[in-house]
Structure 1
C-alpha cells in the first residue's frame, strides 16, 4: 500500500496543494463529529499506520477523509483530543460570531471592551489548544501573552475610537475593530512564541538532517505568521462593513433595522470559512531560508 498518512495528501510545495489541504483540515463540519466518530477515526488511523492494511469497508478516499477528521481533533504531537473550540474546524463558526460582534457592536466603549476581550480570550484558548508538544508554553507565558494581547487590542480600539469620533466620515469607525485585531496579533504571536525568538527554531538540510536552532529563522517564521493572521482577518472585517454600509445607504434595512445583524454574520461567515484555509496556505509550513542569512555556527554545520 503506497498511502503514507504521515505526510499530507496534497503537494505542499504548491499553493493549490496547501489550500486543498487546509480546506479539508479546517472544514467546519469536522467540529460536528461525535466523540465516538473521533475515537473510531483515531483507531483506524493508528491501525493503518501499524499494519499498512486497508481497513474493511474502506477505500483510499474514505481513509484520507478519516485521516483529516483525525487531524482536525487530535494534537499532532501529544495525540490528545483537543478542546472543541480550540480546533481548527471551529475557527470559522467561532470567528463568525466574534467578528460579527466586533463589527456590529463597536459604537460604545462597553461593547468594544467586551468583544475585544472575548476575541483575545478565544485566541488564548486556540493558542493553548494548539501549543507545541516539544516546547510547551508555561502558564506564566500564556497568561502574560493573554494580558498583553488584551491590553494591546483594547488600547488600540479605545484610542482609535476616540479619534474617529472627531472625523466627519463615520465609515472610519467601522474599521477600528480590524486595527485592534492587527495590533493584538503583532503582540500576541511573538509573545506566545518567545521561546523560539530566544532559543531559535530547528533548521534542517534539504535531506532532513537537523543542523541546529536559528533565531533568524524563528523571527522570519513568526513574521510570516503575523502577516497571514492579518490577511486572514482582512476580508471579514473590511469587506463586511463596506458592503453593509452600501446596503444601508440603499435602504435595505429601513423596515427591519435588526436584519443588519444576520446580514453581517452571513457575510463574515462566508469570508472566514474560506479566508482561514486560503490564508493558512499562503506560506509553506516548512519554508526554505538562504544559508547566508543563518547564524555563523549553523553555516558551518550546513556543509
Structure 2
C-alpha cells in the first residue's frame, strides 16, 4: 500500500512518499542539535510562537566548518555564541572548559552563556519534531513540491506512524544584505541598492511602513499575501534611511542616497557664484557643513556624542576644512604652477578637507573607541585602534567617491571656444574674452565640441551640462566608494593586544582571532 507524508510547504499541500522521506531525511531525536543549518534557519525555528526565553539550538558554525554555535532566544532576540576549543580539544564559551558539548550545555543551564545578561539554556518545549533533508527531492508528479538537502522540515501533526503533516520554512533573512558582503561585487550591488538617488525623497510614511514590514517579517507576523518583491523593496528602503546601529530614521540630508543630489546642488552653486570672495566662502561653508552632516549621520552610533562635543566637532571640522580649501585657493592664485597642478587643486583641497572633516566629526570615537564584538555580534569591549581604522577607511572611500568628478579636465572657456571653432569652422567673436571655466570629462568635451549646436550655445549649456555630468559621475561613484571595504570591518586581536594593552585587558573575550565593528560610511 502506498504510504505518504502530507507536507505543507509555504502553505501549500503536497504528498511525499514515506519510504523516500525516511531515506532522504533524518529524524532529529535530540532537539538541541540540528546539524548544518544556517543562522537564519535557527532564528526562524527559535522565533516560533510559544518559544520561551532560554530556548536554544546547537548547530554547526557556518563561518568555521567543524566548529559549533549555540543559538539562544532571549527577550525577543536571537543571540548566537560560538563554541570555542582549546589545543586539547576541550569546549568552552568563556573560561570553564568541558570534555563534551553535552557537559557544556548542561553547565550553562545554571550558568549564563552571556557576560552581559543572565541567559540560562532551557530545552525547547517542542510539540513537533524536525526532519532534515539528506538529499534533494525533485517533484515527479503534479502537486508535489521540492525540498533541498539540508532543509529543515517541521512535523506539525502526526495522526499515525505512517502519515503526518509537515511544514517547510522557506524564509529570507532580512537582517543581512541580499548579496555576499565578503566580495567587492556583492558590496557594490548592496550599496547601489541603498544609495539609489531615486529613493532619496520617499516620504516618512513609506519609510516607516517599510520598517514595520521588515520588523514584522522577522517576528513571523507579516501580513498574509506578502511577496518576496515587497520584502526586498522594504529592505532597500530600510537600508537607505535607517541607521544600522540604532535603527533610527536618519535625517534626509545625511543619507547616502541623498549624496548625489546634495553634491550636485552645491557644485552648481559654487560654479554660478564664484566671483566674489564672500560668495566663495559661503558656498564652501555650505559644502563643508553638508559633508559634516553626512559624516555625523553615518558615524558609528554605538559611540555616544554629547551636544557640546557635537558643536566642537562641527566647528573644528568645518573651520579646518574651510581654512585648507581657501588657503590652497589663495596660495595657487599667487603662485606660478603648471596647468596640471592647477587642475589638481580642487581635488587636493577636497581630499585634505575630508581628511580633516571626517575625523573631527567622529573625534569622540577616536577618543573613547568604538564598540567591538565577536563574530556573533556580542559586544566584548571598545577599541580606539578600531576607530582609527574605521575613520581612515572612510576618508579613503570618500576621496575615491569625489575623485572622478574632481579629476576632470579644466579648460578656460576661451580655449574651449577656439578649439571648437577650429573643429567646426566657426569664427568666435567676443567669446574669447570670457574667462569662465568649464569642467567636463575629456572624452565628452571632445565629442560635444564637435557639435555646432553645442558651440553656439556654449554659454547657456555650460552649467546644465556640468551639473548633469556631476550628478551622473558622483552618483555612480557613491556605491563604488562605499563598497571598497566591508561595513562590518575587523581588527586582529593580536594588534589590539600589542598597541592597546590597557583596552585589551578590559575585553570580555580575548581568545578569538578577530574582533568586528561598524566602520561607518
What does residue 201 of structure 1 align with?
Answer: 370
Residue pairs, 1:51-130, within 5 angstroms: 51=220, 53=222, 55-102=223-270, 106=274, 108-130=276-298
Question: What SS does structure 2 have at the residue aligned with 1:124?
Answer: helix
Rg comparison, structure with higher value: 2
**Aligned-residue CA RMSD (Å):** 2.8
- What is the aligned residue count? 302
Equivalent of 1:244, from 440, 447, 455? Answer: 440
Q: Judging by fraction of residues, say which structure has more strand.
A: 2
Do the aligned residues in 2 keep the contact of 1:229 with 1:279 (CA within 8 Å)? yes
What's the offset of the Cα at 1:266? 1.1
Whole-Å Cα distance in 1 between the matches of residues 488 and 389 of structure 2? 12
Give the secondary structure class of the aligned counterpart of 2:285: helix
In 1, Cα distance between the equivalents of 2:340 and 2:295?
32
Match of 2:174 in 1: 5
Q: Show CA shifts across 1:23-54 (max 9, x none).
A: 1111111123233322321221121122265x
Match of 1:296 in 2: 501
Q: C-alpha displacement at 1:19, in angstroms?
A: 0.7
Q: Does 1:24 align with 2:193?
A: yes
Q: Which residue of 2 aligns with 1:259?
A: 461
Partner of 1:140: 308
User: For residue 48 of structure 2, what is the aligned residue in structure 1?
Assistant: none
Instruction: Assess, with a 3 A threshold, how the Cα gap between structure 1 residues 127 and 84 changes in structure 2: closer, same or farther.
Output: same
Cα offset for 1:250?
Answer: 4.6
Decide which structure has greater helix share.
Answer: 1
SS of alignment partner, residue 234 of structure 2: helix
CA distance in 2, matches of 1:262, 1:216: 45
Unaligned runs of 5+ in 1: none
CA deviation after TM superposition for structure 1 residue 173, in Å: 4.6
Do 2:321 and 2:357's aligned partners in 1 also have CA atoms closer than 8 Å? no
The answer as to whether partners of 1:240 and 1:268 remain within 8 angstroms in 2 is no
Structure 1 pair 59–22 and aligned structure 2 pair: CA distance change class (3 A) = same
Unaligned runs of 5+ in 2: 1-169, 412-438, 512-521
Per-residue deviation at 1:186? 1.3
Distance 2:380 2:300 in 1: 20
Are the structure 2 counterparts of residues 211 and 37 from structure 1 closer, same or farther at C-alpha, using a change threshold of 3 Å?
closer
Distance 2:410 2:194 in 1: 28
Are 1:117 and 1:150, in contact at CA under 8 Å, matched by a contact in 2? yes
Other structure's SS at 2:490 match: coil
For 1:108 and 1:233, the matched residues in 2 are separated by 25
- TM-score, reference length from structure 1: 0.87
Kindly provide the CA deviation profile for residues 196-236 of structure 1, in whole angstroms up to 9, marking residues without a partner as x: 22222233344545432222222112111111111111111
Whole-angstrom CA distance in 1 between matches of 2:205 and 2:300: 26
SS of match in other structure, 1:288: strand
The answer to whether the 8 Å contact 1:164/1:172 transfers is: no
Matches of 1:98 and 1:171 in 2, distance apart? 25
Which region of structure 1 is more displaced relative to structure 2, 91-100 or 125-134?
125-134
Structure possessing the higher relative contact order (Cα contacts under 8 Å, 6 or more residues apart): 1
- In the alignment, the residues of structure 2 paired with residue 206 and residue 56 of structure 1 have an alpha-carbon distance, to the nearest angstrom, of 34
